[in-house]
Amino acid sequence: MKLLSGNSNRPLVEAIAAYLEMPITDASVRRFADEEVFVEIHENVRGEDVFVIQSTAFPANDNLMELLICIDALKRASAKRITAVLPYFGYARQDRKPGPRTPISAKLVANLITVAGADRVLSVDLHAGQIQGFFDIPTDNLYAAPVMSADIQARFAGKPITVVSPDVGGVVRARALAKRLDNAPLAIVDKRRERPGESEVMNIIGDVNGRFCVLVDDIVDSAGTLCNAAAALKEGGATDVVAYCTHGVLSGAAVPRVDKSELAELVITDSIATYDAAEASEKIRILTIAPLLAEAVRRIADESSVSSLFD
């Protein structure tokens, strides 16, 4: 098998390659003067099982085009099987029609990846599980919960932990993490979103008084929801609040907002390449999912079970 890297998250690809003890395929993914993407693969991939690793985070459209063109280049170079590995699947939040005359962009992106020539997709913590059904090719959705639960147990063992979902839609995700933490109690933050990008905390369902609260979510974007939830949990009597999120989008003023919030810590994974402000923050810590992705890649190449990773 071979690993091909786009430009979106090179450090993660290097970590995956190191875990698998194999080199990254020699290729150029660059821009023409007018910003058109150009891909050239410098080694033979005919008959190979190739994994293209590319997060479609900011700049989402550029990174998506890189992925599509890499897939097309591999297809035309006669690769035997092409697996699109998307540690972060952009456009996943547009998975339904929230109103009339709006797109379902996640389905459009799934079609683009399929038509480009991908034979398989591997992702991490899709925003909605049903996005797997948008693809007409085999799709594996990995979960960061095992990585998070191991970190929580290592750092906060002995504390009275309550796992908290920042909204009703994330209850399944929070329950899965709570189960891994010896069936820790669960709480839910009931919020009302007045307009996109803003959230107002209304009520806390569950007892958090005197508890060490662990907020869990798949994506932290503006961080408004998490920071408001942390403030509400503190008002409800929580001793401390930490947040674990798989994908650290952290757009706009998210990092300063986290730094000024009631959160003791925000833990994200390296599914998206971090930038200087996030790395400089004393409240933001990064967990790697490279071993998780590498093991899944190995199992797909070996035609063995991926789901057993989470048993």
Residues taking part in catalysis: 191
Is 270 annotated in a binding site? The answer is no
Is 221 annotated in a binding site? The answer is yes
222: Cα within 13 Å, side-chain hemisphere:
7
Helices 145-156, 171-180: axis angle to 10 degrees equals: 50
The DSSP line for 271-297 is TS---HHHHH-SSEEEE--HHHHHHHH
What is the arrangement of strands in the sheet containing 49-53, beginning at the earlier edge strand? Answer: 2-5, 49-53, 81-86, 120-124, 139-142
Q: Which residues pair with 86 in a beta bridge?
A: 123
Is 93 annotated in a binding site? The answer is yes
Kindly give the pairing relationship between strand 186-195 and strand 27-31: unpaired
* Continuous segment of H or E residues that includes residue 187: strand 186-195
Is 35 annotated in a binding site? The answer is yes
- Asked if 49 and 85 touch (Cβ cutoff 8 Å), the reply is no
Q: Which residues pair with 189 in a beta bridge?
A: 204
Residue position matching structure tokens 């190191």: 18
Is 94 annotated in a binding site? The answer is yes
Is 140 annotated in a binding site? The answer is no
Is 223 annotated in a binding site? The answer is yes
- Asked if 297 and 122 touch (Cβ cutoff 8 Å), the reply is yes
Is 294 annotated in a binding site? The answer is no
Cα 77 versus chain centre, distance? 30
Kindly give the pairing relationship between strand 27-31 and strand 37-41: antiparallel
Is 136 annotated in a binding site? The answer is no
Is 34 annotated in a binding site? The answer is yes
Residues placed in the known binding site for ATP: 34-36, 93-94
| Residue list, annotated binding site | 34-36, 93-94, 127, 167, 193, 217, 221-225
**Which residue numbers belong to the known binding site for D-ribose 5-phosphate?**
193, 217, 221-225
Q: Binding site for Mg(2+), residues?
A: 127, 167
